[in-house]
Structure 1
């Protein structure tokens, strides 16, 4: 099959390109040409922010499917939908679980699923900065749904995505940051409780689901995430500690102690969200039954952690620390703040 990927050189798009090539498909990437393309693909230079959406370089080519991972201004997706109408057979959009608005009451007896209420992009608060990401993703979904028949649209909504090539800069990745911290060793702040459940999907498993979906002409919306109750914060950190040489001593702190220390979950402590907060259910309380029935298969935590570590150590495109003065979004807890929280 002829598959067009808008992007295709970073993390999720790259994983999809690699998977599609491995399964014998012809893959073309459309991007600005600033990063190396995966082996076996061909590239066309195009800037999606250009007036034509960067599509002019495609000429009159047609494709069986297009994969779009865009996360910013949704009008860019609208432009792609309009520009590719009649030229692609199917539109696959990589969205996010962030498009949902789970109720904040305690719902620990029932997992969220595809019937959970969606973010309302028509509400008066929808365009506030704090809702930028869910607004962008949901508005992009709507653009795709309006531009293509329902049976030609596959919307994939992953939760936390981990795996090799997560980020080119260590401090922009969740797993990469933790592995770097655990490799440093010593007394290491471990956000508890250790039995707190977390969920993720490996980018390579997401990619396999997408390519299989193209092959099988799967349509509809699917939540892509590992099963609830399988991975905990404890097993996550212990897996990382093992692959990095067991140099770290995990010092567990309660959510209350972390709050008292003024440490922010998710940003300063990647992956961790205060389980007592309203946001926990929206990230780590999901049902993946529909996706599993459609072919999603998730590898074990140990494989994801091990492969990511090997990429960090030996990969041709292994990540590097953020350079001085870097202005991008960075994750992680400073050594000074960690020592203070540990009482060292």
Structure 2
């Protein structure tokens, strides 16, 4: 029986990951600030991960076979985790993001070697304690968090660079609802110029992938994405179909400067998933699950 600590893990694909770990017989502890109870069957530790003393006190003398960090958004959080969990885990898995490639713009899918985290400059003096700043610089925060772990890591470490996640009635992001609202109201959908396709992954598939990673021994960054990049139009067409198809025409409004709709990207940085597949994980294709993901998120049949 493995001892697994999940930092975060109370919602969306995190809770699906915890369910998989428990079903496999792992002893799972979820660490959070105490506002939300852990999934049934999991133990809980309560601490604010930004408070190093509180985090260390909560962990105490415990050791773990795997730590899965679902909510590491800044280099400060990564530095605290490095210090607290050094010597206390056999393996550390950080959930990162496709947004670490936000400075890329290339026709071919982006492989892990496009970003060497060890070369990223870490700027801990920036206001990483401010939620608005962290939200605005989400991709950069993840880049720098990866950099902290990559610098002489004190434990075997993996950064799972997750594609945009779709699916689930519990999708809290509101991104598909954004399109549904505009289609229902007849408002135009604002899209970037140019508007590039991106990579996605089903909510169940990313939970399965993270579970799989906990049983492997490779280290370093790994991309997690289903086959088949999707354009904004692909997603909007699926949403329109779920809402009544031809009876709901869609208008697009090109935007060269300014805010655009979710899943609209001026840069091309679709991810290459060949490293993960060469290591033994077989990804699905977006066509296998996109319709289901849209209908279950929007709550339509």
Aligned counterpart for 2:142 among listed residues 129, 137, 158? 137
Give the distance between the partners of 2:226 and 2:206, measured in 1 at CA.
Answer: 10
Matches within 5 A, 1:121-160: 121-122=120-121, 132-146=137-151, 148=153, 152-160=156-164
Give the drift of 1:24.
Answer: 3.2
Give the drift of 1:287.
Answer: 1.7
Give the drift of 1:60.
Answer: 2.6
Inter-CA distance 113–24: structure 2 relative to 1 (3 Å threshold): same
Tell whether the 8 Å contact from 1:101 to 1:116 is kept in structure 2 after alignment: no
1:209 corresponds in structure 2 to 209
Give the drift of 1:5.
Answer: 0.5
1:163-222 deviations in Å (ceiling 9; x for gaps): 226653xxx43223224444x354653748999533212232222111111112232211
1:55-106 deviations in Å (ceiling 9; x for gaps): 42233322110011334332222212211222211000111233346555xx
Give the distance between the partners of 2:291 and 2:284, measured in 1 at CA.
Answer: 13
Inter-CA distance 99–194: structure 2 relative to 1 (3 Å threshold): closer
1:29 corresponds in structure 2 to 30
1:264 and 2:259 equivalent? Answer: yes
Q: Secondary structure at the match of 1:56?
A: helix
Matches within 5 A, 1:158-177: 158-164=162-168, 167-168=171-172, 172-177=173-178
1:231 and 2:230 equivalent? Answer: yes
Give the drift of 1:263.
Answer: 5.1
Give the drift of 1:52.
Answer: 1.7
Tell whether the 8 Å contact from 2:238 to 2:291 is kept in structure 1 after alignment: yes
1:293-314 deviations in Å (ceiling 9; x for gaps): 2315235356345345435539
1:289 and 2:287 equivalent? Answer: no
Matches within 5 A, 1:33-112: 33-100=34-101, 102=103, 107-108=106-107, 110-112=108-110
Tell whether the 8 Å contact from 2:97 to 2:163 is kept in structure 1 after alignment: yes
Residue segments in structure 1 that go unaligned for 5+ positions in a row? 275-279, 315-344
Tell whether the 8 Å contact from 2:68 to 2:92 is kept in structure 1 after alignment: yes
Length, aligned pairs only:
289
Give the drift of 1:149.
Answer: 5.5
Inter-CA distance 82–296: structure 2 relative to 1 (3 Å threshold): farther
Give the distance between the partners of 2:235 and 2:122, measured in 1 at CA.
Answer: 38
Q: Secondary structure at the match of 1:215?
A: coil
Inter-CA distance 42–3: structure 2 relative to 1 (3 Å threshold): same
Give the drift of 1:8.
Answer: 0.9
Give the distance between the partners of 1:226 and 1:29, measured in 2 at CA.
Answer: 27
1:317 corresponds in structure 2 to none
1:320 corresponds in structure 2 to none
Tell whether the 8 Å contact from 1:3 to 1:27 is kept in structure 2 after alignment: yes
Matches within 5 A, 1:239-318: 239-246=238-245, 248-253=248-253, 255=254, 258-259=255-256, 264-265=259-260, 269-274=261-266, 280-282=267-269, 285-294=270-279, 295-298=281-284, 300-301=286-287, 303-307=289-293, 309-313=295-299
TM-score for both structures, normalised by structure 2: 0.79
Q: Secondary structure at the match of 1:154?
A: strand
Q: Secondary structure at the match of 2:92?
A: strand
Q: CA RMSD in A?
A: 3.4
Give the distance between the partners of 2:198 and 2:86, measured in 1 at CA.
Answer: 39
1:323 corresponds in structure 2 to none
